[in-house]
Chains A and B, each alone.
Chain A
């Protein structure tokens, strides 16, 4: 149980276009999801906390107009990278908080590799 999926697993786009990444909790409802970004050989950096039915909370230094987050249902959160540029190329990972586990454990998706040409 407690499976989180991401789609797509990898995407290549042209500079200036927008890309949407989906994060789904497959067998549980998640009121809270997190979006992380990972650069090569670096740690996962929390970008934002996504709460169902409300605005996302962004970490310092993350442009909310650049990285649009929508958590419209208890099983789906989306991250849209708007007007993507090569510096946005990265590995994006989501996680979902499961309130049914001890310490509200986070369950992670497999990640999405974004390459902006």
Chain B
């Protein structure tokens, strides 16, 4: 079956540091890949997505590239801010639509001044 593995947190960074959160997946076929973010007290929000190999999703300074050869979709940001503190979830979906998502365990990011 499908599965998503992401690095355990928490990840603690100083403001303006470079962020990488690793995500690898196992799936049959060609899944779509997503990063969701959950701010304290709020629901998950779609951060970015990629639907085919070599696609790069980007939003709010975050980027992730769909790497089929390494089955990875690592999340990166060049300079984090305190407001980026949240829990980040990597997820995949079969068939290219956002239905029946399979999630990773989530990685908590804490950014300090």
Contact = CB atoms under 8 A, between A and B. Distances in A.
Interface residues of A, number: 23
B42 A43 contact: no
Contacts, number: 56
A109 B49 CA distance: 19
* Size class of the contact patch on chain B: 20 to 34
B106 interface: yes
A30 interface: no
B35 to A, nearest CB: 13
B32 interface: yes
Interface of A: 4, 6, 32, 34, 41-46, 49, 93, 95, 97, 103-111
18 contacts: A4-B43, A41-B106, A43-B103, A44-B101, A45-B103, A46-B100, A49-B99, A93-B43, A95-B44, A97-B99, A103-B32, A103-B49, A103-B97, A104-B99, A105-B46, A106-B46, A107-B43, A108-B36
Interface of B: 4, 32, 36, 41-46, 49, 51, 89, 96-106
